[in-house]
Amino acid sequence: MALDGIVLSCIRKELEDLLAGGKIDRITQPEKDEVVLAIRKGRDQYRLLLSAQASMPRLHLTEETRKNPIDAPTFCMLLRKHIGSGKILGFRQPGLERILEMEIEHTDELGDLGVKTLVMEVMGRHSNLILKDGDGRVLDSAKRISHLVSSVRQVYPGVPYQYPPSHGKTDPTLPLSAGDFRSRLEEAGSLGKGLLGAFNGFSPSLSTSLCLEAGLSPQTPPAGLEADQWQELHDRFSKAMELVRSSSFQPAIHLDAQGNYLDFHVLPLQGTCSSETQPFESPSRMLETFYDIQGKRSRILQKSADLRKLVQNNLDRCGKKLELQQRQLEDTRDLDRHKIQGELITSNAYAIPAGSESVEVYDYYQDTMTTLRLDPRLTPIENAQKAFAKYNKKKRTALALDTLLQETRTELDHLESIKYALDFSETEEDLREIRNELVESGYLKRRHSKRKQQGPKAQPLHFLSSDGFHLYVGKNNLQNEALSMKFANGGDWWFHAKGLPGSHVILKSNGQEVPDRAFEEAAALAAHYSKAEASAKVAVDYTLKKNLKKPAGSPPGFVIYHTNYSMVIEPSVSALRRLQD
């Protein structure tokens, strides 16, 4: 799942064909490691995304409109100054490296023409976006690298730009005889690692595919290969590189049996993925499709990291508190023993000598003789009062712990529901609602800002059943409560996974009789959007909205009901169509 040098070569060709000669109209920086260039060429408008995000670095044309900060970051302002309204002269990729250079002609403040180069380095966590001047010196970069970070290569304003170390790798598109090919791989521990270490542009999936196409395992040691096996591997390698030299690319996403995205490439991959592929005419469209879900999810995970840590810390705290309260409650289980001891001492006080350490009396509860321990410093009546005092103390403790245990369990359930909502979040608006809930619940302090940034309100998910009934799914506790207690009418149906954190699902009946299939689809939807999503079967409760009650003082999204139906069903949304409100 890496954007390797060969995929980048395909991207370079597309950008060269579409953008060379175009003019940069606008430059924005939606994220600290992401820049978007709006480019006009003739009557056509394009948006070029350059992302140095550590987990998913990439560059490609995009159709998505991204939200930009109110104040442009410093790097964005520098790009506007040096390449804004500039003309794109062309694109260059040195030796199939994961580096793409965009040369831009720009007029400076004095009206003189100059050429700047915007360099995109796609190298995992070392990815960077660098602007250099005509003399090859760095003007600035998205990530500044000082000598404290790297002793090999520094990237900050004023230093000469230099390519990252090549580690002895060569350009695989250059002519290479079978003997030279063999000599470059013979010292490697395995064929797969040898291809990765010897040539630029290779990803693990491509090197594995070439080995399998040649009938070899990527873990095979090169020293054990026969001459015909070397020849077969070299032939497969040469055919793949000929596709690259001729730009005969075939962008495609590889899928598993469930339709989930596994990998992508612009060359056919054999043996590494399922036979299912989704072809694309454009490599940019391929990358945007592949990274759409992963990219958004990654951003949400980053932005919710502080909330996740807060919720997990409170879950750990509540778990420890619950364990302590349960131990304390267990210590009160023998409270009746102290009461019986006090009664037995009282009924036999006349026969107990002063200063006795123990006494044997008749236990009329068990119809047997029993021995009671006494404090010799106290009188029999004082020993009885001491036993009654222990009984009353443990009784008060048990009554208090019953209430405290219920409160702790309710808090744990609330925190579990918030944790589930964080896993379910899709947009920044969802996170804003969860943050507001944490503030209202006292887990977070309210932020006081002079600039009020309210932003759009997050909406629940909206589905249409096979029979035309509308279904709504809450994505967090605030949405759950709004759907169940405000949006739904008395005749609408409410669904929720039984005894599990999950979403409230509302089926709008609109006064119509609801068929069994609609009930089953709504229950499967509620099971899917619950903590038991991966289970084979899930129990789901459902009832009319009019049967729901919200206890006073309960947390958001908490409801009770005493009349309901239940069904056990497989989590699924395959029969439903999602609507965009």
What 256-263 contacts at long range (C-beta under 8 Å, 24+ apart), as own/partner pairs, is 261/290, 261/293, 261/294, 262/1, 263/1, 263/205
pLDDT of residue 446: 79
CA angle, 40 then 44 then 46, to 5°? 60
- For residues 48, 49, 50, 53, the Cα torsion angle rounded to the nearest 10 degrees is 180
The answer to whether residue 424 scores a pLDDT higher than 70 is: yes
The band of 448, judged by pLDDT with boundaries at 50, 70 and 90, is low
The band of 149, judged by pLDDT with boundaries at 50, 70 and 90, is confident
| 273 vs 576: which has the higher pLDDT | 576
- Can you say how many angstroms the Cα of residue 50 is from the centroid of all Cα atoms in its chain? 22
The answer to whether residue 341 scores a pLDDT higher than 80 is: yes
Give pLDDT tens digits for 351-372. Answer: 888 889 999 999 888 889 999 9
Give pLDDT tens digits for 450-502. Answer: 455 555 677 899 999 999 999 999 999 999 999 999 999 989 999 999 999 99
The helix-helix angle for 178-185 and 227-245 (nearest 10°) equals 100
Same fold, 5-141 and 179-281+288-301: no
What average pLDDT does this structure show over 106-119? 88
| Sole residue written with tokens 């070299």 | 234
Amino acid at position 185, single letter: L
The answer to whether residue 558 scores a pLDDT higher than 60 is: yes
For the segment(s) 179-281+288-301, the CATH number from 3.40.50, 1.10.8, 1.10.260, 3.30.2310 is: 1.10.8
Give pLDDT tens digits for 215-230. Answer: 999 999 998 889 999 9
268: helix, coil or strand? coil
User: From CA 578, how far away is CA 581, in angstroms rounded?
Assistant: 10
The band of 29, judged by pLDDT with boundaries at 50, 70 and 90, is very high
Render the burial of 87-126: b for 16+ CB within 10 Å, e for the rest: bbeebebebbbbbbbbbbebeeeeeeeeebbbbbbbbeeb
CB-based burial of residue 193 (10 Å sphere; 0-12 exposed, 13-18 middle, 19+ buried)?
Answer: middle
CATH superfamily of 5-141: ibrinogen binding protein from staphylococcus aureus domain (2.30.310.10)
> Is the distance from CB of 21 to CB of 244 less than 8 angstroms?
no
The band of 1, judged by pLDDT with boundaries at 50, 70 and 90, is low
pLDDT of residue 151: 85
The band of 427, judged by pLDDT with boundaries at 50, 70 and 90, is confident
pLDDT of residue 298: 75
pLDDT of residue 581: 65
Percent of the chain with pLDDT over 90: 65
pLDDT of residue 3: 87
What distances in angstroms separate CA 455 from CA 69, 72, 304, 371, 529, one per listed residue?
A: 12, 18, 17, 74, 26
The domains of the chain are located at 5-141, 179-281+288-301, 318-420, 461-579
Per the prediction, the chain carries an average pLDDT of: 90
pLDDT of residue 456: 64
